Amino acid sequence: MTDPLKTPEAGPSHPLGAVADADLAREIETAKSLVTAIVKTRKNLRLYLPNNPIYQQTIAGLSKAFENAFESQEAVTIDIQRTQILCGGKTIYQSPDMEDNLAALFYRDGIRNLTFLRGITDEETAEFLEIIQLGGRSAELDDDVVTLMWEKDLEHVRYTVVEEGEGDENDPGLLPRGARPGAAYGNLTEAHRDAVAPDGPRAGGEEIRSLAATPGFEDLSSFPKELMSPLPLDEDDVRRLKLQIQDKRNALLLQRTVDICVEILFQDAGANPAGFEESVRTLERLGKLALMRGEFRLVADLLGQFRQMLGDKERFDEKERNLLRQTRSALGNEARLKEVGQSLDQGIPYSPEALEAYLVSLDETAILPLCDLLGLKEMKNRRVIVNALIVLGRKHMEALVRGLSDSRWYIVRNIIYILGRLDDGRAAGVLKRFVSNSESRVRMEAVRSLGLLGPPAAEGLGLYLDDADPQIRLAAVRYLGATRSPEAARRITERIRSKGFKDLPNEATRAHLDAYAEAAGPDALPLLEELATRGGWFDRSRIEEIQTAATAALGLIDTPKSREILGRLGENKNPSVRSAAREALEKRAE
Amino acid sequence: MAQIPSFQIAAPQVYNEHVLALGKDLVIRLQILLKLCGIHERNNVALVRPSERLAETLSVFHRTAPAVTLRLSRDFLYIDEVRVRYDIETATSYNYLLEEMKHRRVGSVSFKGPVDTATARTFGAVFAGIERTHPDPVYEIQKRLVAGNCFSITVEAYDEPPEQPLDTIMDERKRAKRTYFRAISSLKGIVHALKEGQAVELRRVKRSVQSIIDVMLREEFSLLGLTTLKDYDEYLYNHCINVSIFALTLGKRLGLPKAHLTNLGVSSVFHDIGKVEIPHEIIDKPTEFTEADWRQVKEHPSLGVKILSRIRGLNDLTMVSMIVSFEHHLRHDSRGYPSLRSRAEWDMHFFSRIVALADQYDAMTSSRVYQRVPFSPDKALSVMAERSGTHFEPALLKVFVNMVGIYPIGTLILLDTNELALVFDTNPAPANANRPRVLVITDTSGNQIEARTADLTEIDPRTGRHKRSVAKVLDVNKYNINLAEYFI
């Protein structure tokens, strides 16, 4: 006979049982789909980088799977076993591959149950995926799935964890002596007797000050007055505490750790060789970390400190100074600079001034590796490298020149750019070598850089006057003129008097004549006047172009004689010449 | 019954976090409004913005639940069964509301349904307008609210809550004990690995610290109770975990977020790791230290830095641990050790200042390095208070003292009933700081009894006075009281 007080179980034969079964079946199916989606997503994410569109699509796919799962239920709960995942007692995932087994990943770190809640955001999905990616590398990291889940504190992902087995709280070895069997302790009777005695000791024999009665604390009899109330915090206290909590310097861990290691270095100098070496090595590791993080100012300062220490022979002996030298070198060697380049390409935030400060503190061995970094993707990063190489190159031009053997034309071009800015006439001899370089952008840069070097560049620029590229030829003649050197005047005169001069395009003609005026100055007046007034029967328009160009070039020479010539040319029958002359005189008058 | 939000059912922790975040706002905004209502007339323009802000906060609550109740229980405020966190940001408002509600004998304020600015202002004015000496303040408040058409806000009288069931207390203590000893075990494992030159797994310590934080976020006294036990074979490990517990409790009081608490906890566990390289004959010496002994001991901060630097990757966690190891004896005025090339320029890290406090307190109350005879907790606090501004940052020291309490956990006291008792839980409300919860351990004649809890705030209804009060403080060390019997 059934007990009327007992609710019949909702078994299969009961109407409610059928509904319950259907619900459970649906939950299991939902959980299975979701776990399958997670497994698939995890695999895909290993194949692509975060900035790859497929990576993003994969995560979006999982978000969609979550959305689908929560259409009919508030939460999805799965149970974790050693190699399989269950829902409602049914296995929904298992894999024989222990290395890549999702269940094993969670089980190993103690997770026995996971619940995903409706409302899980895309960010939480991405973070959860990040956790299971990182959790698989916990042997290398200081975290496992549990610590990562705890820190991420995902609002819509809950878990239960069993703690690792060690640390039995009943282990006698761990317990205080008073908690072990047989511990004989305590003399409460004596304590009570002393306490109730009217003149008995108050507490432990220490000095107890008598206190004035204070409302609310009148029954306090044995406590120092200044601690009668919990020390109330006033506004100033709260303000100071907030400042301390929010102090940005708390986050400058790397800087502070470096400072500490330097202090210890000074403590150990001359007293503890092994300790000194260890501290130096630690500083090297910290320096490397700083470089990877883009904290270049820190490294620049550290290198500066090393430099000072190297100069202090009283405090640091030869062996210690050698160690410092080695570390100083290690923080600017090829490997370090390559890592810096990789970090810059990855887009780490940094201060360009700080990076430059670090780079210019390096020695000449850094120049070639830095030349390699002239191929960085972002211009702002390249600019910093260029600026640093300009500084370093002024001291070590030979090292910079060695970089010109690089096979990448853009690296060579950038080095040529730098050579032009070294304010060193010797660079001209190097730059003229590129006249036969197959890359026009390299040749153009060589011309521009030569143009910055003044008279010593005249010979080199002259070589580019016959370049195959008309733009390079133009640039060469203009820069040549700007050198204002006799050599430049001589070369340009040769070209003007050559047969081919009359066949030059107008722009080139003007460039030559302007350059001639600039280079030769007043000495150019006779030839320019001659060209401005020379006639001819053939190719009239060309003759007029030359006349006009010569007239304009006369305007660049500011002497009474040139004004006189221009005055006469202002009455020339050729309207272009007249116009050019008058324009030149007007400009002069301004 | 009010409809409970679905995520409260499915995920109480989720709901709790939601309420905690808003609860802080509610407490602060309510306090501001009430305070201003006590100063200004109802129509004063100064009340407009505070009323709006309170209404704003309530409207956020009402998006997920039709009613929200602010409730007073003992000396804590709750919002729908979730205890509002008492930390540096809420301290002033918290204490104000506790006091004002208690004086008016208001046990709860329920905001049932939308509360607009006008209603919020009316409530503030009515509440603040009731004299503390009114014979029936709750009835009067309710009457005036109805008269002011504030139907969506109701108040109820304060009812002293029943004792927390002993089995709940025991569960928490068991969990705390398990967490505590697991942390010890993890640390022992780490030290062993360091000594053997093996790879160190920081994640074990992290997990221990995170477990400590979880226990502590629920309640502190169980873990703090375990810190009173000092008679271990190898005290170093327990000292490190105790310091971590004190530091985390202080960090929690200051409202540090969880990620920072983890770093604080781990770095405080490792603060004395340098001592593993000091001969144990010195560390465990039962007699006074010689000068030479002290010189060696004073190397432990730098030794700790070196040990920690050998741990496999240098990351933020190892770095903050190195920093705390180096700085925790420097002192607030930088006159501690290790000596620095330039004291004037050194500013201790915030975590180092916290650990310095925790370290001093635990060391002083143990019969270890600093003095052979341990100080009683109150004496330790007294000495620390004298060092405010020199050894310790003054504001931080105040928070620490408040946290430890007038009668720190583990203090042996004589009650005015002639019973002996041990303090096992402090009272956060300043007005009741001298009335902790205690374990009564003897009868009035001094005979040992099975420990039972008593709350010193309890009032005898016949006399209207407190049932028990502290008469004297005794030195638990002098009488060799076995604290393990009560805290384990």
pLDDT at A108: 86
Q: Answer yes or no: are the C-beta atoms of B21 and A133 closer than 8 Å.
A: no
Whether B396 and A241 lie within 8 Å, measured CB to CB: yes
Q: How confident is the model at residue A138 (pLDDT cuts 50, 70, 90)?
A: low
Q: In sequence order, what are the residues at sequence separation of 6 or more whose Cβ sits closer than 8 angstroms to the Cβ of residue B203?
A: A138, A141, A142, A143, A144, A147
- Give the tens place of pLDDT for each residue, A421-450: 999 999 999 999 999 999 999 999 999 999
Fold of B166-402: Hypothetical protein af1432 (1.10.3210)
Contact indicator for B364, B383 with CB cutoff of 8 Å: yes
B429 vs A463: CA distance, rounded Å: 90
**Residue corresponding to tokens 């607030």:** B332
Q: Do the chains contact at B430 and A183, CB–CB below 8 Å?
A: no
Q: How far is it, in rounded angstroms, from Cα A547 to Cα A533?
A: 6
Instruction: Looking at B117-165, list the stretches that DSSP marks H as alpha helix, in order from N- to C-terminal side.
Output: 117-129, 137-147
Enumerate the H helices of A361-422 as residue ranges: 367-372, 379-395, 397-402, 409-419
Using the predicted structure, report yes or no on whether residue B423 has a pLDDT greater than 70. Answer: yes
Report d(CA B195, CA A97) in Å as an integer: 36
Per-residue pLDDT of B103-141, as tens digits, reads 888 999 999 888 999 999 999 999 999 987 788 899 999
Cβ contact (<8 Å) for B376 and A231?
no
Q: SS3 for A314-374, per residue?
A: CCCCHHHHHHHHHHHHHCCCHHHHHHHHHHHHCCCCCCHHHHHHHHHCCCHHHHHHHHHHH
Contact between residue B214 and residue B207 where contact means Cβ atoms under 8 Å apart: no
Token pair of B251, please? 């960090």
The string of pLDDT tens digits covering residues A56-109 is 888 888 989 999 999 888 899 999 998 899 999 999 999 887 778 899 989 988
- Residue A205's pLDDT band (cuts 50, 70, 90): very low
The token duo for A59 is 């995560």
Buried b (16+ CB within 10 A) or exposed e, A143-160: bbbbbbbbbbebbbbbbe
Closest residue of B to A206, CA-based? B379
| Contact check, Cβ <8 Å, B479/A190 | yes
Chain B: closest CA distance from residue A420 (Å): 43
Contact A203 B474 (CB under 8 A): yes
Q: How many other CB atoms are found less than 10 A from the CB of residue A248?
A: 6
What letter does residue A111 receive in the DSSP assignment?
A: E
Q: What is the pLDDT confidence band of residue B247, given thresholds at 50, 70 and 90?
A: very high
CA A373 to chain CA centroid, nearest Å = 14
**Do residues A180 and B451 lie in contact, with contact meaning Cβ atoms separated by under 8 Å?**
no
DSSP A57-87: HHHHHHHHHHHHHTTS-SEEEEEE-SSEEEE
Q: Which one is predicted more confidently, A121 or B197?
A: A121
Average of pLDDT values for A519-540?
A: 87
Predicted local confidence at residue A12, as pLDDT: 45
CB-closest option in A119, A230, A282 to B309: A282
Who among A155, A203, A219 is closest to B469 (CB)? Answer: A219
Question: Among B301, B321, B305, which residue's Cα sits nearest to residue B202?
Answer: B321
Structure tokens belonging to residue B200: 């160190």
Q: Is pLDDT larger for residue B301 or for residue B312? A: B301
Task: Convert the pLDDT of each residue in B31-44 to its tens digit.
Answer: 999 999 988 888 89
Helix B117-129 vs helix B12-39: crossing angle, to nearest 10: 60
Q: Are A192 and B210 within 8 A, CB to CB? A: no
Residues 6+ apart with CB under 8 A from B432: B75, B457
Residue of B nearest to A190 (CA): B479
Residues B365, B376 contacting (CB under 8 angstroms)? yes
Q: What's the whole-model pTM score?
A: 0.79
For residue A194, the chain B residue with the least C-alpha distance is B474
Q: Which residues have a Cβ under 8 Å from the Cβ of B277 and sit 6 or more positions away?
A: B300, B303, B307
- Local structure of residue A248 (DSSP, 8 states): G
| pLDDT bucket at A473, cuts 50 / 70 / 90 | very high
- Chain A residues closer than 8 Å to B90 by CB: none
**B-chain residue closest to A279, CA distance:** B306
Residue B352 pLDDT greater than 50, yes or no: yes
ipTM score here? 0.79
Alpha-carbon distance B85 to B90, whole Å?
8
> Which residues of chain A have a CB within 8 Å of the CB of B328?
none
Could you read off the pLDDT of A12-23 as tens digits, one per residue? 455 556 667 888
Q: B23: which 2 tokens?
A: 């609860």
Please check the confidence at residue A183 and state whether its pLDDT lies above 80: no
d(Cα A480, Cα A493) in Å, to the nearest integer? 12
Ranges in chain B annotated CATH 1.10.3210.10? 166-402
d(Cα B16, Cα B14) in Å, to the nearest integer? Answer: 5
Tokens 């776990």 belong to: A35
For residue A80, report the phi and psi dihedrals to the nearest 5 degrees: -105, 125
Characterize the bridge pairing of strands B106-112 and B67-73: antiparallel
CB nearest A144 (choices: B203, B385, B474): B203
Q: Do B350 and A151 touch (CB under 8 A)?
A: no
Share of chain A above pLDDT 90, in %: 60
Residue type (1 letter), B86: Y
Contact: B178, A206; criterion CB under 8 Å: no
Tens digit of each residue's pLDDT (9 = 90 or more) over B139-170: 999 999 999 989 899 999 987 655 555 556 66
Selected residue of A76, A146, A244, A266 to mutate for chain B interface (largest B Cβ count, 10 A): A244
- Asked whether residue A207 carries a pLDDT value surpassing 50, the answer given is no
Contacting residues of B for A244, CB less than 8 Å apart:
350, 353, 393, 395-396
Q: Which residue of A127, A233, A293 is the best one to mutate when testing the B interface, meaning the one whose CB has the most B CBs within 10 A?
A: A233
Do the strands B67-73 and A157-161 form a parallel or antiparallel pair, or are they unpaired?
A: unpaired
Q: To the nearest whole number, what is the mean pLDDT of chain B?
A: 84
Is 50 exceeded by the pLDDT of residue A147?
A: yes
In sequence order, which residues have a C-beta less than 8 Å from that of residue A68 and are 6 or more positions away? Answer: A30, A33
- pLDDT tens for residues A548-562? 999 999 999 999 999
Contact check, Cβ <8 Å, B92/A238: yes
Closest CB from A169, A275, A289 relative to B314:
A289
